[in-house]
Structure 1
Amino acid sequence: MTLRVPPAVAAVVGPGPYTAVPLTHNQNNRATAGIDRIQGPDGSAVRKRLTPSGSGTARWSTSDDPRHWNHWRREYLAYSTGFAATVYADAGLGAPTLLDVEEDPDGGLTLWLEDVAGRPGPQWSVADLGDLAHRLGTAQAACAAHPPDRPWLSHRWLRHYLAAVPDPGSTAPDWSHPEAVAAWSEPLRADLAALAADPGPLLAVAESAPQTLCHLDLWPMNLIATDDRTVLLDWSFTGTGAIGEDISNLIVDSVADGLLDPSLLPEIAAALPEAYLRGLRAGGWQGSDAAVHRAIAATGAAKYSWLAPAMLRRLDQDVTTRAYDRRSPAETLRRRLGLLALVADWARAALGWPGRHGQWTGPPPPSQQGTPAP
């Protein structure tokens, strides 16, 4: 079958013939029917197909509600209104250009996007991530002072994501599994089990934190550095979130799927909050450092409260079903030790519990001796 492109795209990629190369993406999400790089004789473009009823899992169901955490048209709206390109532009952060959009027979939309040429996030250094954090702080300080108001921006995204996506599994995770015992200490397992059982207190902390406009899917796969800007991809979740929420996501997801060396995690976890705080100050934000550190801790611990149980349930599953990190589940348990210790420490810091696993890099959490640990 001959591949067809609309005239506006042909002006970029040439008159044909064209080839399509599938790009790795989250195939669980029913909002995405496919992402391809379309190569022509003169260049390339990215084709992303959005749909209200794709073939992903029920947990990643879409909605026509524009405030829903997984509203399937949000990314189209972010691009077509110019929002994604301009909301952080003063800090040198942008979005791919929308070349064209087509309505599909099944009711979906096909976005034709600029194939941004540059250095992708998995090739970045810690210094590169720190520069992004600083720029984001500057931009989000402005958004906190003057919150953007669009009827399709997500609200309380983290709470609704946690209510929908994490798979509770048919059985309880086996915290005494030999692989888990070998990889994680007993205190760490106890903290991770308590966190997984009830992230509600952390959500309350996150929602009481200062709010700003967040990207809400910030990780290396959605970052490209060009000569004159940093491009953020995939604006499908963007909306109101806690100050620092994007930073906690970036810290964890930089190493969670093997994109960056996990030995860099302590450096990343130390550098990014400080760079973000400097950016906030440069943008005029006058809140406390402690409030930012607490928001980063609360959002990061809540967002990944499901991760350890999911890892335990995968121990006897086929690792090749995963899209990004295809290492064995047992090896993943060991590689993510530092990451999960950081998540547990974030939970303790955000809730003020004494003690830590040695990974928390913010100010000392307030001690509440005599209060039972979670």
Structure 2
Amino acid sequence: MPDLQAAISKQQIVRHLAVKFNADELSLADWSMTKLNWKASNTVTDALYRITGKVLVDRMTLDWSFILKVIIPAPETDDPNHYCYWKREPLLYQSGLLKTLPEPVRAPQCYGVEQGDDGTWRMWLEEITEHLDGPWELPRYGEIAEMLGQFNGAYLAGLPLPSEPWLCRGFLQSWTHECDKYDSGIARLEETWAQSRVKELLPEGTFERYLSFCQNRELLLASLQKLPKVFTHNDAWKPNLFPSAGRGLTMIDWSNCGLAGVGEELGRYYGLSLNSDLGHLPDKRAFADDMAIRYCGGLRKAGWRGDDRLAKFGFMASAGIRCGMMFPSLFEQLSRLPETDEVPAKWNERCAVALHLLELAEASIEMAGGAT
């Protein structure tokens, strides 16, 4: 951080403050910079910094803050078709596209985008201060599902789809094929499922069901491409969502955004929520049904009058495909657990999530005309 702080000039800060306060003249007082204790979930975000200080505007001394997001070159994602194309978010903010998002969704305001001599990009963003600390109550997840439906539905009800070439087109194809690089094939071996620990964790017949899913996965991916297209965030989960008291929803981290089939946004949100916060739910199918109803309600609120089955297929297929990542991950971790150690109780919860997602995948395969 010291090197970055030394590279930031007073003139830079003044320039971005002029945008923030819409002022031609202002005087910068003291300022400070702190690196946030935050770990990126992708390879393109280097760090987040909070820059704060005071400024004199029209004879008034005002407090101000920025979030400075630093994006680093990532050759492995230097392709607009990659789900995490490293230049996407800086280009997105430069384009102004996020200023035209339909209600109730918004993105943080951007006060400047610049590229450093080292090839990194720096985005000077609004600090979002309104957020809900602690665990969410279950109804909150449904409220957000409805808002995601409103957001997506606006593009089905007349709002033009963006067409920029750097938007992601085929998030799930890129993401699943990237996950395949780390799949040793352990979940497709019969001897893996014959282990006593696996038999205790998963019901008989799951191996055959998983193999059937693998054989039909490409069918699901191809079927998702045929759905009506909407503009999507593609990484909607609790750390990136800031619901407000006025029922608005601020979404941060737009590096995966693009065009996807209706319902895919909900599937991503649902799968991530189960994996991170809600794996303990005893009746996951009822929860999935409620989420689908709320999302379709949002689509209707936005003005879409299409077939809800299309959205439900998009939801179930995109959520269900996640099981193809979960089972291999579970078995890889289990193989590293000493035979003398007890399997942690948390594993029953994770296996229940994987099985539930497999059920959603099977239902969507049947809807797509594939084997069950």
Q: TM-score range by the shorter chain?
A: 0.7 to 0.9
Structure 1 distance, partners of 2:151, 2:307, is 17
The residue aligned with 2:354 is 340
Structure 2 distance, partners of 1:19, 1:168, is 35
Match of 2:45 among 27, 32, 36: 32
Residue 104 in 1 paired to residue 116 in 2?
yes
Structure 2 distance, partners of 1:17, 1:283, is 43
CA distance change for structure 1 residues 85 and 316 in 2, over 3 Å: closer, same or farther? farther
Q: TM-score, normalised by structure 1?
A: 0.79
1:372 deviation in Å?
5.8
What is the percent sequence identity of the aligned residues?
23
Structure 2 distance, partners of 1:66, 1:372, is 33
The residue aligned with 2:58 is none
- 1:121–1:221 CA contact under 8 A, matched in 2: no
- 1:47–1:112 CA contact under 8 A, matched in 2: yes
Q: Unmatched 5+ residue regions in structure 1?
A: 55-60, 319-327, 353-364
Match of 1:349 among 358, 363, 371: 363
Residue 150 in 1 paired to residue 187 in 2?
no
1:185 deviation in Å?
1.0
CA distance change for structure 1 residues 109 and 372 in 2, over 3 Å: closer, same or farther? closer
The residue aligned with 1:358 is none
1:216 deviation in Å?
0.9
Structure 1 distance, partners of 2:236, 2:324, is 18
Partner-residue secondary structure (3-state), 2:67:
strand
Residue 7 in 1 paired to residue 13 in 2?
yes
1:196 deviation in Å?
4.0
1:209 deviation in Å?
2.0
The residue aligned with 1:355 is none
Structure 2 distance, partners of 1:22, 1:36, is 9
Q: Which moved more, 1:308-317 or 1:273-282?
A: 308-317
- 2:271–2:322 CA contact under 8 A, matched in 1: no
Structure 1 distance, partners of 2:249, 2:133, is 10
Q: Deviations over 1:214-267 (max 9, x none)?
A: 11111111101234431111111111111010111111111202x346327455
The residue aligned with 1:179 is 197
Structure 2 distance, partners of 1:20, 1:33, is 11
Q: Deviations over 1:174-223 (max 9, x none)?
A: 23343332222123343234324551111122112222111111111110
The residue aligned with 2:137 is 125
The residue aligned with 1:115 is 127
- 2:40–2:46 CA contact under 8 A, matched in 1: no
Match of 1:285 among 304, 313, 318: 304
- 2:36–2:47 CA contact under 8 A, matched in 1: no
Q: Unmatched 5+ residue regions in structure 2?
A: 21-27, 55-62
1:316 deviation in Å?
4.4
Which runs of structure 2 are paired with 1:1-374 in the superposition (5 Å)?
1=2, 3-4=5-6, 5=8, 6-8=12-14, 15-26=30-41, 29-38=42-51, 42=63, 44-53=65-74, 61-63=76-78, 65-88=79-102, 91-120=103-132, 123-144=135-156, 145=158, 146-170=160-184, 172-173=186-187, 174-196=192-214, 198-228=216-246, 229-257=248-276, 259-260=277-278, 262-263=280-281, 265-266=284-285, 268-317=287-336, 330-352=344-366, 373=372
CA distance change for structure 1 residues 253 and 199 in 2, over 3 Å: closer, same or farther? same
**Alignment-mate amino acid for residue 129 of structure 1:** Y
- 2:86–2:255 CA contact under 8 A, matched in 1: yes
Structure 1 distance, partners of 2:89, 2:329, is 28
1:149 deviation in Å?
1.9
- 2:179–2:325 CA contact under 8 A, matched in 1: no
Partner-residue secondary structure (3-state), 1:186:
coil
CA distance change for structure 1 residues 239 and 84 in 2, over 3 Å: closer, same or farther? same
- 2:46–2:70 CA contact under 8 A, matched in 1: yes
Q: Deviations over 1:298-348 (max 9, x none)?
A: 121224422211121122459xxxxxxxxx984443112332222111122
Superposition RMSD in Å: 3.0
1:139 deviation in Å?
2.5
Structure 1 distance, partners of 2:152, 2:133, is 20
CA distance change for structure 1 residues 83 and 331 in 2, over 3 Å: closer, same or farther? farther
**Alignment-mate amino acid for residue 214 of structure 1:** T
- 2:323–2:355 CA contact under 8 A, matched in 1: no
Structure 1 distance, partners of 2:330, 2:134, is 23
- Greater CA radius of gyration, 1 or 2? 2
Structure 1 distance, partners of 2:245, 2:285, is 28
